[in-house]
Structure 1
Amino acid sequence: MLQILLFLQVALTPALAWIPVEDWGSGNVNASLGESGQCLCHVYLPDTTFPVDRVQHMQQVSKDLILEVEIQMDKMVSYEAKLDVYLKELADLTVRVAMLESDSDKYIKLDFELLRIELREFEFLVSQLKDSLNSSSPMFDSLFTEIHNMTLIVNQLESYDKSNLDVIRIEFAKLQKKLEECQKDQEFIKPEIGNCNHTGIMSISKPTVVQLNAHLNAGYQYGGWGKDSKPLRGYESMYFYGAYSSPSVHDFYLYSNYEKLIQRSAFKHHDITYGWEGTGNNYIVHGNTIYYQHGTPLSMTKLNLTSSKYDYRVIPAVSEQFSYSYSDNQHMDFAADENGLWVMYASIASKGKIVLAKIDEKSFGIEHEWNTGVYKKLAGNAFMACGVMYATRSVDVNTEEIYYAFNTKTGEEKHLNIKFNKFQDRYTNLDYNPTDKKLYMYNNGYYVSYNVGFNKE
C-alpha cells in the first residue's frame, strides 16, 4: 500500500488561523514531488505580522478580570450573610414599629428602664460617699430608703402611662437634688480628671450591671465597651461597643451618650476594612482612634474614626504563646490612663511575663519598655491607672482580685489583695478610663462598670 505523506510548509504558522481557506487563492499553493516520492505542498501566506504583544496583553487582562471576579464573588457571599442579619433585624424593627403604631405610649417602657439604671447608680454613689467619709448617719439611711422606695414605685407604676411617668420624674428630680445637697454639705469632692495625687488604688466598688449588649445576644462573649479615654471636644459623652462570637475585631458601634447606648441607637457603625480585621479583645478608643491587635506577624493597629485611615506597627517580640487566662488570642492589651497610651504583651525573652510598653502617639512607636513580674497566663487581665499597671486574677466564680501593681515611675512592684465582685465568672475586656475614674468590663456579653477608690494618704 502506497502511503503518500503530505507535508505542509507554512512560513508563518500562527497567521494561518487568521485567514479563511477559501481566500488563500490558487496562486499561493504549489505542489511538487520530493526525492523519496513524497508529495510536497507549499503554501505561501501574505507577509502579515502576528500581534503577539496584543495577545499577551489580552491574556494578562483576562487573568486580572478573573481575579477581580473571584474577589467580587467573595464579597457577594459576605454581603449575602450580612443581608440575612439585616433582614432579621428589619423584621424585629417591623414588629417594634407595629407595636408603637398600635400604642404610642409603649416607648415609655424604655424610660422606666433608664430610671432603674440611674437609681442603681445613685445607690452606688451614696455607698461610695458613705465609704469615703467613714460615716453612718440617719441622712445616709434616709437616702438609701428613698432610693429603695423610688425603685418600688417605678416597678409598681410601669403601666406605660405618661402621667405616671411625669410624677416619677418629679420625684426623681427631688431625690437627685437631695443627693447633690448631701454631697455639698459633706464636702465630697469628685476627683479631678488627670489628678494622680494619691498612692494607688485602695478599693473597687460593687459592679454596676448596665444591661446585655446591643446585639441582645449573650453568645457575643468577646468584645468591649466604654468611653474614649481622651475624647475630642464635643465627644466627651460618647460610648463605643463591639462584640463577637469569637476573639476578633471586625466592626463596632459609636453612641453619642449613655442614653443612646441603652437604647441601642448608634450614630455610627464602623465595618473594619477587609484585610484590616483584628484579633483578640483588648482594644480601646483613645483620642478618637481605636487601637487593636492585628495580623501575622502581630502588630498594633489603629483606625482614626474621623478620617477612616489605618496604620500599624509590628512588635517583633510579641509571642502568640501567652494570653490571659480567660481568653485565647489576647496577645496585645491596649490601655490608657492619665499619662497616655500603653500596650502590654509577653515575649519569649521575658519568659511569658508581661512587658509593659509606653506608646508615642505621634510616631506610633514604642517610647520605653518595662519588664514586670506577672506571668501572663495566670492573669485574668491588666489595666493602667496613673502610670501604674494593675493585674487581676480569679479568686472564685464570683470574686476577682487585683493582686499585683507595677509603678513605671519608681520601678517598684507590689503584691495587693483588692477583691471585687464579678457579675459572671469570665470576662474578656477590662479597662480604666481616666475621664471618669471608672473600670469598664465586658463580662459574658454584659456591660459592667466599677467606681475606683484611690488612697489619698
Structure 2
Amino acid sequence: MKLLVVLPLWALFAVTQQKALSDDCQCELISSEKQFPYDKLKAAQDAALGCINTITPQKSAALDSLLLGLSRRLPQLEQDVAMLEKEDDGELFGVLSLHIIENELVEIQQMIDKLNRTNAESDRLSENVAQQLENVKEEMEELEKFDTMQVVKRQQANQRLKRDLDQCRNNGVFPTIQPTQPIGGACPHGRLVNITGPRVHTAGEYPGSYKYGAWGRDPKPEPGKESWHWRVMLTSSNRYAHYVRLYSSLSSLIVGISVPGNVQIHPSNPTTNTIQGPNVVLYAGALYYNCYNKDAVCRFNLTSKGVTTLDLPKGTRYNSKGDFCHLEECYPFTDLDLATDESGVWVVYTTTQDHGNLVLSKVEEGEPPKLSRTWRTSVYKRSVTNTFMACGVLYATRFVNKNTEEIFYSLDTTTGKESFKVGIFINKVSSDILFLNYSPVDQMLHMQNDAQMLSYKVLFQM
C-alpha cells in the first residue's frame, strides 16, 4: 500500500522537473468571485466630485451676504425717510436727501433682483445635487457587495475610533482650521495664511466682569517697557472708561497683578475726552480711542497726561450709528475701530456719504495726530463684526456661530485690491468678539471675547 503511494508522487515529481527544464509552467486561475466593476466606481467618484464643485462655500456665502445686506439696508432706509419727513425744508436739504433715498432704493432693488436670481439658482442646484447624491449613494451600496472581506467596514470603524480619540485628546484644546485661500500683501513676514490658538486665555483679575474692553501690547514701547501690557475696561454702562490699567508683563496680566497700576485720563466718567467704546489701542506711549460723544479720535499721552483730538471727516457716524453687527446683534458704540500694525495707527469708520461702507484712514503720529491717506471699501460695516490691520492689509471678520468667527474680507492698501474670499477661521470661547487688534511685536492677535482675554498666533508664509 505504501509503495503504491510513493511511486505516483515520485513519477509526478520527475515529470514536473523535466517540464521545468524545458519550458515555464503556466497556470490559469479561475476565481469564483465576480469581477469588480471599476468603471462604476470611477463614475461614482466623478459624480461625487461634481457635487462638491457644484455646491461651494462661496455660493452659500453670496446668498448669506445678500440677505445680510438687505437686513441692514432696509432699517437704514426707514431711518433716512423718517429724517427726511422730519427735517425737510422743501429746498436744498430735501432735494439732496431725496436723491440719497432714490439711490438707496435703486441699490436695494438691485440687491433684491440679485437675491431672487441667486435663490432660484440655489434651488435648482439643490434639486440636481440631491438627485445626484441619491444616485451615488445607491451606486456605492451596490459596490459594497463586492467587499467580501469587509475592508470598507473596518476602515469606517477605524475612522470613527480615530475621530473619537482625537476628540478626547483635543478636549479643551482648539484645533486649527486651514484657510481656503492665502492672502497677498507686501509684508516683511510674508503673506498671512492662518490664525492659530488661542495661545492665551484668561479672565484676568476680574473674572466674569467687564464684558466690553480692550487689551494688548504697545508696538512701539518706551525703553524699559517692552514687556508691559495694558488693559482698558468699560466700567460705566459698557460704554465709557476713564483710565488705562498697566501690567509689567503678560503673566502679571493673567494673574491680575497690576503694577504700576492705573493711569487716569480724567477723575470722572464720562466727561470730555474720556473713552467711548471698546476699540482702543496703545502706540508709542499714547492711547488712541473714540472721544466721548464725538466723531473724533482722542490721543492720550500716558507720560504728559495730555489729550489731543483728531476730527474725522464730516458725516462720520458715531454714538452707535455705525456699529459692528451680525444678524442677531449689534455691538454698541463700536463706530470707530482703532488698529495698529507695523506702520503705526489706523482708524476704521463709516460715513453717511459712503452709505455705511467701511472707510479706512491712516493716522499720523503727532500732537495733535493727523489723517493721511484714506481708502474706501465695498463692504457694509454693519455686516462686519470686527476689523484689524496686519502689514498694511485690512481684515474684516463676520460671525459664523458662537464658537467660530471667519476672516472673510481683506483690503491691501498697497495695491488697493479687495477680496471677499479670505476664508480664515478663528476659534472663540464665547459668542461675541468685542475687540480685535494685531500686535506686530510678536505677530499675535489680541481679542476681547465677551469678558475673556484671548490671543492668537498669526502665521505668515514667505
TM-score between both structures, scaled by the size of structure 2: 0.55
CA separation in 2, counterparts of 1:219 and 1:233? 32
| Equivalence for 2:100 | none
**What percent of counterpart residues are identical?**
32
Query: Residues 209 and 446 of structure 1 are in contact (CA less than 8 Å); yes or no, is this contact kept in structure 2?
Result: no
| Equivalence for 2:264 | 271
2:188 counterpart (197, 203, 217)? 197
The answer to whether residue 212 in structure 2 is matched with residue 222 in structure 1 is: yes
Partner AA of 1:331 in structure 2: D
1:284 counterpart (246, 261, 281)? 281
CA separation in 2, counterparts of 1:238 and 1:328? 29
| Equivalence for 1:303 | 300
Q: Structure 1 residue 244: deviation in Å?
A: 2.6
| Equivalence for 1:339 | 343
1:359 counterpart (354, 359, 363)? 363
Q: Structure 1 residue 452: deviation in Å?
A: 0.4
1:368 counterpart (370, 373, 392)? 373
Partner AA of 1:265 in structure 2: I
Query: Residues 337 and 433 of structure 1 are in contact (CA less than 8 Å); yes or no, is this contact kept in structure 2?
Result: yes
Q: Structure 1 residue 248: deviation in Å?
A: 1.9
The answer to whether residue 218 in structure 2 is matched with residue 231 in structure 1 is: no
Is there any run of 5+ residues in structure 2 with no aligned partner, and where?
1-168, 170-185
Instruction: Return closer, same or farther for 1:213/1:445 CA change in 2, 3 Å cut-off.
Output: farther
The answer to whether residue 381 in structure 2 is matched with residue 389 in structure 1 is: no
The answer to whether residue 317 in structure 2 is matched with residue 319 in structure 1 is: yes
Query: Residues 200 and 456 of structure 2 are in contact (CA less than 8 Å); yes or no, is this contact kept in structure 1?
Result: no
CA separation in 2, counterparts of 1:209 and 1:339? 25
Partner AA of 1:268 in structure 2: G
Compute the RMSD of aligned alpha carbons. 1.9
Q: Structure 1 residue 240: deviation in Å?
A: 0.3
| Equivalence for 2:230 | 240
| Equivalence for 1:249 | 241
Aligned with 2:448: secondary structure?
A: strand
CA separation in 2, counterparts of 1:236 and 1:372? 35
Q: Can you list the C-alpha shifts for 1:331-374, whole angstroms capped at 9, x where unaligned?
A: 11111111111111000011111100001112511011000122
| Equivalence for 2:3 | none
Q: Structure 1 residue 444: deviation in Å?
A: 1.2
The answer to whether residue 406 in structure 2 is matched with residue 409 in structure 1 is: no
Partner AA of 2:277 in structure 1: G
Query: Residues 200 and 455 of structure 1 are in contact (CA less than 8 Å); yes or no, is this contact kept in structure 2?
Result: yes
Query: Residues 296 and 309 of structure 2 are in contact (CA less than 8 Å); yes or no, is this contact kept in structure 1?
Result: yes
* Greater Cα offset, 363-372 or 399-408: 363-372
Query: Residues 370 and 408 of structure 1 are in contact (CA less than 8 Å); yes or no, is this contact kept in structure 2?
Result: yes
Aligned with 2:324: secondary structure?
A: coil
Partner AA of 1:414 in structure 2: S
1:400 counterpart (377, 396, 405)? 405
Aligned residues: 263
| Equivalence for 2:119 | none
Query: Residues 239 and 278 of structure 2 are in contact (CA less than 8 Å); yes or no, is this contact kept in structure 1?
Result: yes
Structure having greater relative contact order (Cα 8 Å, sep ≥ 6): 2
Is there any run of 5+ residues in structure 1 with no aligned partner, and where?
1-147, 149-194
Q: Structure 1 residue 199: deviation in Å?
A: 5.0
Query: Residues 234 and 277 of structure 2 are in contact (CA less than 8 Å); yes or no, is this contact kept in structure 1?
Result: no
Q: Structure 1 residue 263: deviation in Å?
A: 2.9
Aligned with 2:278: secondary structure?
A: strand
CA separation in 1, counterparts of 2:436 and 2:217? 12
CA separation in 2, counterparts of 1:249 and 1:331? 16
Partner AA of 1:323 in structure 2: D
Q: Structure 1 residue 277: deviation in Å?
A: 1.5
Q: Structure 1 residue 293: deviation in Å?
A: 0.4
CA separation in 2, counterparts of 1:305 and 1:297? 21
CA separation in 2, counterparts of 1:432 and 1:214? 23
CA separation in 2, counterparts of 1:262 and 1:398? 22
